[in-house]
Amino acid sequence: MRTRRLPVVFAALAFAASACTSTPETSSAAPATTTQTTPVPSTTVSKPPEEPYLTATPTLELSENAARPGTRLKFGEQAVIPYYSSYAKGLLGVSVTVDTAPVTEEEIGKLALKDEDKKKIRGKTFFFVREKLTNIDGANLTRIRVPSMHATTRSGGWPGSVLAVGRSVDVTGCQEEVFAPPSFSTKGAEYETCELMFGIISDPIVSFSYTKAPYEDSPSHSVTWHR
Protein backbone atom coordinates (compact mmCIF):
# COMPACT_ATOMS: atom_id res chain seq x y z
CA MET A 1 0.00 0.00 0.00
CA ARG A 2 2.91 2.33 0.72
CA THR A 3 4.06 2.24 -2.81
CA ARG A 4 0.70 3.52 -4.03
CA ARG A 5 0.81 6.63 -1.78
CA LEU A 6 4.33 7.78 -2.67
CA PRO A 7 3.31 9.82 -5.71
CA VAL A 8 0.61 11.65 -3.69
CA VAL A 9 3.00 12.60 -0.81
CA PHE A 10 5.65 13.89 -3.14
CA ALA A 11 3.09 15.99 -4.97
CA ALA A 12 1.85 17.58 -1.67
CA LEU A 13 5.37 18.49 -0.55
CA ALA A 14 6.09 20.10 -3.84
CA PHE A 15 2.89 22.17 -3.62
CA ALA A 16 3.61 23.32 -0.04
CA ALA A 17 7.11 24.43 -0.89
CA SER A 18 5.90 26.49 -3.76
CA ALA A 19 3.28 28.22 -1.56
CA CYS A 20 5.75 29.27 1.25
CA THR A 21 8.62 30.56 -0.82
CA SER A 22 8.79 34.10 -2.17
CA THR A 23 10.91 33.05 -5.09
CA PRO A 24 9.03 33.68 -8.31
CA GLU A 25 7.85 30.54 -9.91
CA THR A 26 9.60 29.66 -13.05
CA SER A 27 8.06 27.30 -15.46
CA SER A 28 10.25 24.83 -17.22
CA ALA A 29 9.29 23.99 -20.75
CA ALA A 30 8.62 20.39 -21.44
CA PRO A 31 11.45 18.82 -23.38
CA ALA A 32 10.76 18.61 -27.07
CA THR A 33 10.07 15.15 -28.27
CA THR A 34 10.49 13.81 -31.75
CA THR A 35 8.68 10.85 -33.11
CA GLN A 36 10.57 8.68 -35.53
CA THR A 37 8.57 6.59 -37.93
CA THR A 38 10.28 3.60 -39.40
CA PRO A 39 9.49 3.58 -43.09
CA VAL A 40 7.75 0.48 -44.28
CA PRO A 41 9.85 -1.09 -47.02
CA SER A 42 8.05 -1.08 -50.32
CA THR A 43 7.48 -4.46 -51.79
CA THR A 44 7.37 -4.87 -55.54
CA VAL A 45 6.04 -8.04 -57.04
CA SER A 46 7.85 -8.88 -60.25
CA LYS A 47 5.47 -9.93 -62.97
CA PRO A 48 6.36 -12.90 -65.13
CA PRO A 49 7.29 -11.94 -68.68
CA GLU A 50 4.44 -11.81 -71.14
CA GLU A 51 4.08 -14.66 -73.62
CA PRO A 52 2.47 -13.14 -76.71
CA TYR A 53 3.42 -16.15 -78.85
CA LEU A 54 2.33 -18.87 -76.47
CA THR A 55 -0.65 -19.68 -78.68
CA ALA A 56 -0.14 -17.37 -81.66
CA THR A 57 2.44 -17.87 -84.41
CA PRO A 58 4.22 -14.64 -85.34
CA THR A 59 5.30 -13.64 -88.81
CA LEU A 60 9.07 -13.94 -89.13
CA GLU A 61 10.85 -11.51 -91.44
CA LEU A 62 14.19 -11.83 -93.19
CA SER A 63 16.41 -9.11 -91.75
CA GLU A 64 19.74 -8.08 -93.24
CA ASN A 65 21.53 -10.29 -90.68
CA ALA A 66 19.57 -13.45 -91.51
CA ALA A 67 20.62 -16.11 -94.00
CA ARG A 68 19.07 -15.63 -97.42
CA PRO A 69 16.88 -18.37 -98.92
CA GLY A 70 19.07 -20.79 -100.84
CA THR A 71 22.06 -20.36 -98.50
CA ARG A 72 24.41 -23.38 -98.49
CA LEU A 73 26.95 -24.01 -95.76
CA LYS A 74 29.42 -26.68 -94.73
CA PHE A 75 28.84 -28.81 -91.63
CA GLY A 76 29.98 -26.76 -88.64
CA GLU A 77 29.32 -23.36 -90.23
CA GLN A 78 26.77 -21.06 -88.62
CA ALA A 79 23.62 -19.77 -90.27
CA VAL A 80 21.53 -17.02 -88.66
CA ILE A 81 17.79 -17.61 -88.95
CA PRO A 82 14.72 -15.74 -87.67
CA TYR A 83 13.23 -17.65 -84.75
CA TYR A 84 10.81 -17.14 -81.90
CA SER A 85 9.92 -18.35 -78.43
CA SER A 86 6.64 -17.85 -76.62
CA TYR A 87 8.16 -14.59 -75.33
CA ALA A 88 9.80 -12.88 -78.30
CA LYS A 89 11.07 -12.95 -81.87
CA GLY A 90 14.80 -12.89 -82.46
CA LEU A 91 17.78 -14.17 -84.40
CA LEU A 92 19.19 -17.63 -83.79
CA GLY A 93 22.61 -18.86 -84.85
CA VAL A 94 22.59 -22.53 -85.86
CA SER A 95 25.39 -24.91 -86.79
CA VAL A 96 25.16 -28.68 -87.25
CA THR A 97 27.66 -31.56 -87.40
CA VAL A 98 27.38 -35.35 -87.48
CA ASP A 99 29.40 -38.03 -85.69
CA THR A 100 28.95 -41.80 -85.95
CA ALA A 101 29.17 -44.67 -83.48
CA PRO A 102 28.30 -48.38 -83.70
CA VAL A 103 25.03 -49.53 -82.18
CA THR A 104 25.93 -51.89 -79.32
CA GLU A 105 23.72 -54.05 -77.13
CA GLU A 106 24.78 -51.99 -74.14
CA GLU A 107 23.49 -48.80 -75.74
CA ILE A 108 20.32 -50.49 -76.97
CA GLY A 109 19.62 -51.46 -73.37
CA LYS A 110 19.64 -47.78 -72.35
CA LEU A 111 16.83 -46.90 -74.72
CA ALA A 112 13.18 -47.10 -73.69
CA LEU A 113 12.12 -48.88 -76.87
CA LYS A 114 9.82 -51.76 -77.66
CA ASP A 115 11.47 -55.04 -78.62
CA GLU A 116 10.41 -54.68 -82.26
CA ASP A 117 12.01 -51.23 -82.38
CA LYS A 118 15.23 -52.51 -80.84
CA LYS A 119 15.45 -55.07 -83.64
CA LYS A 120 15.37 -52.27 -86.21
CA ILE A 121 18.54 -50.64 -84.91
CA ARG A 122 20.62 -53.79 -84.22
CA GLY A 123 23.62 -53.94 -86.52
CA LYS A 124 23.15 -50.32 -87.57
CA THR A 125 25.19 -47.18 -86.98
CA PHE A 126 24.21 -44.30 -84.70
CA PHE A 127 24.34 -40.83 -86.21
CA PHE A 128 24.94 -38.19 -83.53
CA VAL A 129 23.41 -35.01 -84.97
CA ARG A 130 24.89 -32.16 -82.94
CA GLU A 131 23.36 -28.72 -83.07
CA LYS A 132 24.93 -25.63 -81.55
CA LEU A 133 22.55 -22.70 -81.01
CA THR A 134 23.56 -19.11 -80.28
CA ASN A 135 21.38 -16.19 -79.20
CA ILE A 136 22.43 -13.54 -81.71
CA ASP A 137 20.55 -10.40 -80.66
CA GLY A 138 19.58 -10.92 -77.00
CA ALA A 139 15.90 -11.73 -77.56
CA ASN A 140 14.27 -13.84 -74.85
CA LEU A 141 14.51 -17.25 -76.51
CA THR A 142 14.06 -19.17 -73.27
CA ARG A 143 12.67 -22.69 -73.67
CA ILE A 144 12.72 -22.76 -77.46
CA ARG A 145 12.65 -26.15 -79.11
CA VAL A 146 15.58 -27.20 -81.25
CA PRO A 147 15.01 -26.23 -84.91
CA SER A 148 13.63 -29.16 -86.88
CA MET A 149 15.68 -30.09 -89.94
CA HIS A 150 15.38 -32.56 -92.79
CA ALA A 151 18.31 -34.98 -92.99
CA THR A 152 19.30 -36.62 -96.27
CA THR A 153 21.68 -39.55 -96.77
CA ARG A 154 24.12 -40.17 -99.60
CA SER A 155 21.61 -42.37 -101.44
CA GLY A 156 18.98 -39.62 -101.31
CA GLY A 157 17.04 -41.34 -98.54
CA TRP A 158 16.45 -40.49 -94.90
CA PRO A 159 18.03 -41.82 -91.73
CA GLY A 160 15.96 -43.41 -89.00
CA SER A 161 15.08 -41.42 -85.89
CA VAL A 162 15.15 -42.85 -82.39
CA LEU A 163 12.17 -41.58 -80.43
CA ALA A 164 11.10 -42.37 -76.88
CA VAL A 165 7.73 -40.96 -75.89
CA GLY A 166 7.81 -38.82 -72.76
CA ARG A 167 11.56 -38.88 -72.20
CA SER A 168 14.82 -37.78 -73.77
CA VAL A 169 16.89 -40.18 -75.86
CA ASP A 170 20.41 -40.48 -74.46
CA VAL A 171 23.26 -42.84 -75.22
CA THR A 172 26.96 -42.54 -74.50
CA GLY A 173 28.25 -39.55 -76.44
CA CYS A 174 24.84 -38.10 -77.33
CA GLN A 175 22.64 -36.35 -74.77
CA GLU A 176 19.47 -34.72 -76.00
CA GLU A 177 18.27 -31.38 -74.62
CA VAL A 178 14.99 -30.66 -76.34
CA PHE A 179 14.44 -27.19 -74.84
CA ALA A 180 16.86 -24.30 -74.41
CA PRO A 181 17.64 -23.43 -70.77
CA PRO A 182 16.25 -20.34 -68.95
CA SER A 183 19.63 -18.65 -69.40
CA PHE A 184 19.12 -18.57 -73.17
CA SER A 185 17.79 -15.03 -73.05
CA THR A 186 20.94 -12.94 -73.37
CA LYS A 187 23.04 -11.97 -76.36
CA GLY A 188 25.79 -14.49 -77.01
CA ALA A 189 24.23 -17.27 -74.91
CA GLU A 190 24.97 -20.74 -76.31
CA TYR A 191 23.23 -24.06 -76.05
CA GLU A 192 24.15 -27.46 -77.48
CA THR A 193 22.16 -30.62 -77.98
CA CYS A 194 22.40 -33.95 -79.78
CA GLU A 195 19.68 -35.76 -81.72
CA LEU A 196 20.02 -39.52 -82.12
CA MET A 197 19.48 -41.03 -85.59
CA PHE A 198 20.55 -44.31 -87.14
CA GLY A 199 21.32 -45.91 -90.49
CA ILE A 200 24.09 -47.81 -92.22
CA ILE A 201 27.68 -46.64 -92.32
CA SER A 202 27.84 -46.91 -96.13
CA ASP A 203 24.93 -44.46 -96.47
CA PRO A 204 25.81 -41.59 -94.12
CA ILE A 205 23.98 -38.30 -93.64
CA VAL A 206 25.31 -35.79 -96.15
CA SER A 207 23.01 -32.79 -95.71
CA PHE A 208 20.45 -31.03 -93.52
CA SER A 209 17.93 -28.45 -94.66
CA TYR A 210 15.90 -25.94 -92.67
CA THR A 211 12.60 -25.15 -94.37
CA LYS A 212 10.44 -23.40 -91.76
CA ALA A 213 9.08 -19.92 -92.52
CA PRO A 214 10.31 -17.56 -93.79
CA TYR A 215 12.13 -20.29 -95.76
CA GLU A 216 10.50 -22.94 -97.96
CA ASP A 217 10.86 -26.63 -98.77
CA SER A 218 12.97 -26.30 -101.90
CA PRO A 219 16.75 -26.10 -102.44
CA SER A 220 16.51 -22.51 -103.69
CA HIS A 221 14.45 -21.31 -100.72
CA SER A 222 15.83 -23.29 -97.76
CA VAL A 223 19.01 -23.12 -95.68
CA THR A 224 21.19 -26.18 -96.26
CA TRP A 225 24.24 -27.64 -94.55
CA HIS A 226 26.22 -30.28 -96.42
CA ARG A 227 29.24 -32.47 -95.84
In-domain check, residue 87 = yes
> Is 45 inside any structural domain?
no
pLDDT digits (tens, 9 = 90+) for 153-203: 999 999 999 876 556 678 999 999 889 999 999 999 999 999 999 999 999
Residue 4 lies in a domain: no
**What is the helix (H) or strand (E) element at residue 11, kind and residue range?**
helix 2-20
| 78-105 CB burial, b ≥16 within 10 A, e <16 | bbbbbbbbbbbbbbbbbbbbbeebebee
CA 71 vs CA 18, 176, 193, 221, 222: distances in Å:
107, 27, 23, 8, 7
Q: What is the mean pLDDT of the chain?
A: 84
Q: Is residue 215 part of a domain?
A: yes
Range of the domain at 108: 73-226
Give pLDDT, residue 102: 96
Report yes or no on 5 lying in a domain. Answer: no
In CATH, what number is assigned to the domain containing residue 89? 2.60.40.1240
In a domain, 159, yes or no: yes
H or E element, residue 207: strand 205-210
Q: Is a pLDDT exceeding 60 seen at residue 28? A: no
94 inside domain: yes
Q: Do the domain assignments include residue 143?
A: yes
Predicted structure pTM score: 0.76
Number of domains the chain contains = 1
Q: What is the pLDDT of residue 98?
A: 98
